């Protein structure tokens, strides 16, 4: 499962790093602290928090392209059958559902807690893995 440092987790949820640390200290979101004192957040925990209504993050390095509707989000659910996969994404207050091929979902390694760019053009919703996070 994907793990994120406090600053990364905070950016995904649209809050400050101090806020996410306070949430962890208050038990609002689970985290672990490594032996060297660094705090980590599980991707699934962030997905749950995103669904509960955190703010909308923005990409650090947006790609140049014609698509104007791009939302950084976190995968909250993946349902696969033999041919297609349904990918549920929470991007701040926005929930998106994308239907893509199962092969594409497998190649991208999509699972709850994975950070994705949700790209919307016309009636299609595409899913991309950001270059860096």
Query: Domain residues of the chain, as ranges?
Result: 3-51, 69-128
Distances (CA, A) of 11 to 16, 101, 102, 117, 119: 7, 29, 29, 14, 19
Q: Confidence class of residue 130 from pLDDT cuts 50, 70 and 90?
A: confident
SS3 101: strand
28-78 confidence digits (pLDDT tens)? 899 998 888 889 999 888 888 887 754 445 556 655 555 567 888 999 999
81-106 confidence digits (pLDDT tens)? 999 999 999 988 888 999 999 999 99
Q: Does the fold of domain 69-128 match that of domain 3-51?
A: no
CATH class of 69-128: mainly beta
SS3 19: helix
Q: Which CATH architecture has domain 3-51?
A: Orthogonal Bundle (1.10)
Q: Which H or E element spans position 12?
A: helix 6-13
Distances (CA, A) of 58 to 49, 54, 67, 107, 118: 17, 13, 15, 24, 11
pTM recorded for the entire structure:
0.56
């Amino acid at each position: 499962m994907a793990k994120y440092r406090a600053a990364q987790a905070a950016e995904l949820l649209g809050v400050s790093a101090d806020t996410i640390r306070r949430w962890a200290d208050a038990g609002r979101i689970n985290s672990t602290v490594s032996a060297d004192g660094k705090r980590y957040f599980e991707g699934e925990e962030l997905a749950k928090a995103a669904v509960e209504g955190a703010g909308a993050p923005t990409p650090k390095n947006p790609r140049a392209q014609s698509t104007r509707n791009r939302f950084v989000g976190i995968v909250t659910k993946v349902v696969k059958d033999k041919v297609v996969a349904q990918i549920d994404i929470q991007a701040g207050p926005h929930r998106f559902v994308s239907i893509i091929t199962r092969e594409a979902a497998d190649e991208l390694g999509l699972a709850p807690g994975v950070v994705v760019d949700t790209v919307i053009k016309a009636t299609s919703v595409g899913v991309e893995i950001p270059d860096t996070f």
